Amino acid sequence: MSDEEEILASPLPCQRRTHSLKHDLRRLTKLAAEYGVHRIVIGLPLNADGSQGPMAEETLAFADRLKQAIDLPIEMVDERLTTDEVERVLIRANLSRQKRKGLRDSLAAVLILQDHLDRERSESLTDRECS
């Protein structure tokens, strides 16, 4: 989740997938309405060489289903190395393996969104300087 100015990303509790895609989509639609979301950023797990493997294909299929269920723009963002970066931060924080496991996904989501927000802000500033 980001603040209204889209400057700072912050974590929400992790939403675990269930065995029902319909249930998951309803829950995400409800959360989006509850938090006043106006767009969704999804991390795309590309392979190290930038190609799409099975996880990326699964993520893209989920994003397509989400687009059908929710009337919001959805943006896909390269998430390569995000989990590794989060793991390094959590280890430096001297957290136990069990505590790291509980935080990993939420912090990876924050990092993905923060990188996206920073990149958009940087591009916007560059565009203004060139105009």
pLDDT tens by residue, 4-18: 899 999 988 888 888
Q: What is the CATH number of the domain that holds 35?
A: 3.30.420.140
Task: Give the per-residue pLDDT at 127.
Answer: 67
Residue 98 lies in a domain: yes
Residues 77/116, Cβ–Cβ less than 8 Å: yes
pLDDT tens by residue, 68-108: 999 999 999 999 888 888 888 888 988 888 888 778 888 99
Residues 49 and 70 in one domain: yes
CA distance 34 to 106: 19
Residue 8 lies in a domain: no
CA distance 109 to 120: 17
Residues 88 and 72 in one domain: no
Residue 5 lies in a domain: no
The pLDDT-based confidence of 128 (bands split at 50, 70, 90) is: low
Name the residue range of residue 113's domain: 83-131
Which among 80, 98, 114 is the end of a domain? 80
Residues 71 and 103 in one domain: no
Reported in sequence order, the residue ranges of 25-111 that DSSP labels E, i.e. its strands, are 40-44, 74-78
Residue 37 lies in a domain: yes
- Total domains in the fold of the chain: 2
Global pTM reads: 0.84
Residues 32 and 67 in one domain: yes
